[in-house]
Structure formats: C-alpha cells, structure tokens
A and B are shown apart, each in its own frame.
Chain A
C-alpha cells in the first residue's frame, strides 16, 4: 500500500461515515447505549494516541523525554483556558527548549 492509497482510502471512509448519517434511518443507531459508546470512542482513541506519542520511540521501546514535559505544559495551559494554538505552540517550545539546552 502506498501512502497515497492509504490517504485516499482513509478519506473515503471518513466521507462515507459522514454521508451514512444522512442516509440511514435515525432510529437505527439512536439508542442511548450506542450513543454513549460512540461518544466514548474519541476519548479512548485520543488518550491512547497521547500515551503512545509521548512515551514510545521508533521501534517500539518506551522512554521519558522532552515530550512528557511538553504534555505537562500543555495541561497547565489548558487549565488556564489557553486556546488550542497556544497550547500546541507552548508544547513545541517546551520540547525545543529542553533539547536545545541538552536536558532531554
């Protein structure tokens, strides 16, 4: 599979899911349990992505480095109600600074 094929397949599925919601009868999926689980999916996926992006190194090992500090700073920024872009920039700046100083 080339990267282009992967991109087009993923984009087609994303669009198909959106369109399906307009085509299927609402009663099919409207149960509270189904709703709860589909609402919970992004929570589980995002938490898992944060964890793997923060602690893994290429090849599958685990490590603690500047990325953990970046997530810590991001959480503080979020507690202070900083907007998305500020959180992202502070995260990047934290890691860049620590690395420039040779600390992580």
Chain B
C-alpha cells in the first residue's frame, strides 16, 4: 500500500498475497468483536453516536471496553474511566516506539500511522521478515480493522438498542467474558499470573469502600511487580510484551503470528 520510504523494488506477488490475506483475516476477526463493543456501549448508557465516537476517535479496543465498563456506573465515574482507558492505551505508545523505524513514516503520515497503531496492526507488522511486507501489513491491517471495527460497532449499538434490558440477554456478563478473553493471551508467565491475581483481589477488596472505577486504578499498581527482574528464565518479554499482546482478537492473530514463526 503506502510505503513510507523508498523500498528497493516491489514485494514479490506471492509474499504480497500472504500479507494481504493475513491483514484481511485479522480485520474480519477483530470486526466480529466490534459487535460486542457496540452492544455493551449502549448497555452502559452511551447512545449510538457516542459508541461510534469511541470507535472512530479512540480506536483501541481494550481502552474502549474499559471506558464503557466503568462509565456504566454513572457520570461520576467518568474521570476514573478516562484514567483506566488511558493507562491501557500506554502500550500503543510503546508499539509506536518500535514501529517508527520499521515504518519510516514522516510528517503528516505519522498522524495516520499513530491512529492505526493498535495491537493487531503492530502484531502483523512485526511478524514479517521483510520491511516492505511489514509496512504493507501495518497499513492494510490498520485500515481493515478500522473499517470493520467501526461498521460492526454501529451494528452492535443498533442491535443493543433494539434488545432493551441488557441484563436479560446477559450483556453485563458478556463484558466480563470479553475482559477475560482480552486478558487470557497475556497470562503466559508466572509473573503475569501473579500480577493478575493481585490486581483482581485488590480491586474486589477495595470495591465496597471506593467510588466506581477507583479500585481498578489502585489495582493497576500491581503492575509494579514487574519492576523486579523475572527469575523463571524469562527475558524482558516474560510479562507479555508485544509477543503476547495480540489481544483478544487473539486466536486469529495469535495463531497466525505463531504459525509463520517470524517473530522475535
């Protein structure tokens, strides 16, 4: 698609086709869960336009789920919702640090690249052996996820509105299941499991005493367990670096990424 810097020659057609197929399949897999985001957003009290604004402007699934999950408690929880979605968004900045060399983007194109910097586009980009394939993978995955994620958010929001009482259809429980699926692929080391367990216990214990959303923010301090150097033979990556961060879309992206073995 759009090469940021002049690449020596074009990508061979066969390789090109592989990258295109991977990017589109990730887009479809991610798009499917946009339906659950749209439905959960209206169940949380957002209108269709507000759900769409999150998908169009925030465009980072984990943060969007966190934002609506906390703001469902009422407008007083809005500052905590902003804080939680922002903390979850920090990892996109880390992805950008790694992508900036790989993509070779400059000027205004950096703004477009930044908006499309999410788990999925990063995973596809870094899993390629060839810089041209990385760039193609990044832009195409970002564009296809953006398009499908927004279309399915709209569909999910309209569907959620039509359904009525969200509890009757288990939409509140769907949020719990969605967060579980987002966390799952990251629990690949002892440290990751310990951090998750501590955070969960802290959040539950604090919940009765503090305003909604605040226990989640306090529990985020459990991430500081990662301060110490991991012992079980793990590298830096032992607490779910990018390798583990293909997110809930996960199985699709993940399997793909593992399959081609081109990762660090």
Q: B223 and A96: CB pair below 8 A?
A: no
Q: Which of B54-62, B124-132, B133-141 forms part of the interface with chain A?
A: B54-62
* In the complex, residue of chain B having the shortest beta-carbon distance to the beta carbon of A26: B97
Q: Which residues of B contact A1 (CB under 8 A)?
A: 75, 78-79
The CA of A56 and the CA of B200, in the complex, are separated in Å by 12
Q: Are A84 and B251 in contact (CB under 8 A)?
A: yes
Which secondary structure dominates chain B's binding surface? helix
| A26: B residues at CB distance < 8 A | 97-98, 100-101
Kindly name the residue among A14, A37, A48, A78 whose own CB sees the greatest number of chain B CB atoms within 10 A: A48
Q: Are A14 and B59 in contact (CB under 8 A)?
A: yes
Minimum C-beta distance from B66 to chain A (A): 6
By the criterion CB–CB under 8 Å, are A67 and B176 in contact? yes
List the B side residues contacting A3 at CB < 8 Å: 45-46, 50, 71, 75, 78
A41: Cβ under 8 A from any B Cβ: yes
B94 within 8 A of A: yes
Residues of chain B within 8 A (CB-CB) of A47 are 183, 195-197, 199-200, 203, 219, 222
B57→A8 contact, CB < 8 A: yes
Q: Would you call B90 and A50 a contact (CB within 8 A)?
A: no
Query: Are B170's CB and A10's CB within 8 A?
Result: no
Quick check: B36 and A48 within 8 Å, CB to CB? no
Contact among B86, B98, B167, B245 with A14 in the assembled complex (CB-CB below 8 Å)? B86
User: B199 to chain A: closest CB distance in Å?
Assistant: 4
Q: Does B113 contact A (CB under 8 A)?
A: yes
| Given A19-B96, A82-B251, A84-B33, A44 and B111 contact (CB-CB distance below 8 Å) | no
B147 on the A face (CB < 8 A) = no
Q: Which residue of A lies closest to B221 (CB)?
A: A44
- Is A93 touching B29 in the complex (CB atoms < 8 A)? no
Give a binary string over A1-18; 1 marks a CB under 8 Å from any B CB, 0 the rest: 111101111111111011
Asked whether any CB of chain A lies closer than 8 Å to the CB of B209, the reply is yes
Which residues of B in the span 185-219 have a Cβ within 8 Å of any Cβ on A? 186-187, 191-192, 195-204, 207-210, 212, 215-216, 219
CB contact under 8 A between A91 and B177, given known A14-B63, A42-B245, A52-B207:
yes
Q: A6-B78, A96-B173 are in contact. List 17 more A-B contacts (CB 8 A).
A: A3-B78, A10-B58, A12-B57, A21-B95, A21-B99, A22-B113, A26-B98, A36-B236, A40-B191, A40-B195, A62-B207, A70-B176, A70-B177, A78-B181, A78-B184, A95-B170, A100-B168
Closest A-B pairs by Cβ, 9 of them: A21-B96, A91-B177, A95-B173, A95-B170, A70-B173, A48-B219, A92-B170, A96-B170, A47-B196
